[in-house]
A = this chain, B = another copy of it.
Amino acid sequence: MRRIITLTTDFGLQDYYVSAMKGVILEQAPEARLVDISHEIPSQDIMAGSWVLKNSAMLFPPDTVHLVVVDPGVGTPRKPVALQIKDQFFVGPDNGIFSLLTEEHDFEAVELTNQSYWRSNPSSTFHGRDIFAPAAAHLFNGVELSDFGKPLDDLQTYRWAVPIADKDGIQGWVIHIDKFGNLITNISSSLIDEVIKSKTTKLYVGNTILDEIANTFGSVPEGEPVAYIGSAGMLEIAINKGNAKEMLGVQKGAQISLVLQKED
């Protein structure tokens, strides 16, 4: 029994866009319980949306339907799709938003071509309300993936920055900055384990050099920078009770280097 439909968009909440989708869903699936994942994905930021999905969608109960609308190409030929990954279902535009999930998991996908599951007279600028929300409601109501349209073997992938590891260490990038100003890198703890092992390194971020990877923010005095493995399993840099983005002057996309030190 499906119980939950989640919503992830870049719509914000000051407009009617999210509530129109909720109305459409509840009109067709009045028993659905709606859970907002986020409506504060930065406008048209497919990468940020994919990051949020990757770190939360698979935690939900079996048969949850995830409606995802970060859709700068609405009305162009980008495909509307639905997919299943393990016991979770997803609906949204095929623009790379599902990349971080489909990189890691097998999936079954279809294009939403069956117009009997669309709202009549769909607009060309709001497929969230007119195509994706109805599809999410129909999935919730038990319509099979294969009924929505023809199978797709591939989905668009988004070109993610990949860290570079060599004999000198690891070079990566800041891929996300969270609400606290914490810098999240694309350097995973497993890559660190593999390349750095127990050797000593220095970490370079902006004009700051750190000597070790600590356990948590509070491992250093207040106001000091600290590197640690964050809750997504990636290397992060923060300021204990401060804002690393502001205090270190670092932006999304900035380079982070873990440099192996010569043993003397």
B-contacting residues, A83-109, CB 8 Å: none
Q: Kindly specify which of A159-167, A190-198, A225-233, A256-264 makes contact with the partner chain.
A: A225-233
Copies of this protein chain in the complex: 3
Contacts of A178 in B (CB 8 A): 14-15, 17
How far is B17's CA from A13's CA once the two chains are assembled, in angstroms?
A: 17
Contacts of A129 in B (CB 8 A): 231
A232/B14 in contact, CB under 8 A: no
B61/A230 in contact, CB under 8 A: no
A20 contact from B19, B55, B72, B229, Cβ within 8 A: B55
Q: How far is the CB of A7 from chain B (nearest CB, A)?
A: 10
Contacts of A53 in B (CB 8 A): 16
Check A114 for interface membership: any CB of B closer than 8 A: no
Q: Whose C-beta in chain B lies nearest to the C-beta of A24?
A: B59
How far is B14's CA from A30's CA once the two chains are assembled, in angstroms?
A: 27
A56/B19 in contact, CB under 8 A: yes
Q: How far is the CB of A130 from chain B (nearest CB, A)?
A: 8
With A13-B36, A125-B217, A219-B75 given, is the CB distance from A59 to B232 under 8 Å? no
Using an 8 Å CB-CB cutoff, how does the interface string of A64-81 with B read, 1 for contact, 0 for none? 100000001111100000
Q: Kindly specify which of A37-45, A138-146, A204-212, A247-255 makes contact with the partner chain.
A: A37-45
Contacts of A41 in B (CB 8 A): 14
How far is B51's CA from A13's CA once the two chains are assembled, in angstroms?
A: 13
A19 contact from B14, B37, B124, B217, Cβ within 8 A: B37
A60 contact from B27, B39, B56, B130, Cβ within 8 A: B27
B27/A215 in contact, CB under 8 A: no
Q: A34-B35, A125-B230 are in contact. List 16 more A-B contacts (CB 8 A).
A: A14-B41, A17-B179, A19-B37, A22-B56, A23-B56, A23-B57, A23-B60, A26-B35, A27-B60, A30-B61, A43-B180, A43-B243, A75-B217, A123-B231, A125-B231, A130-B231
Contacts of A156 in B (CB 8 A): none
Pairs of residues from A and B, 10 with the lowest C-beta to C-beta distance, nearest first: A75-B216, A23-B59, A126-B231, A76-B218, A12-B179, A16-B55, A19-B56, A14-B40, A19-B37, A124-B216
A14 contact from B16, B59, B179, Cβ within 8 A: B179
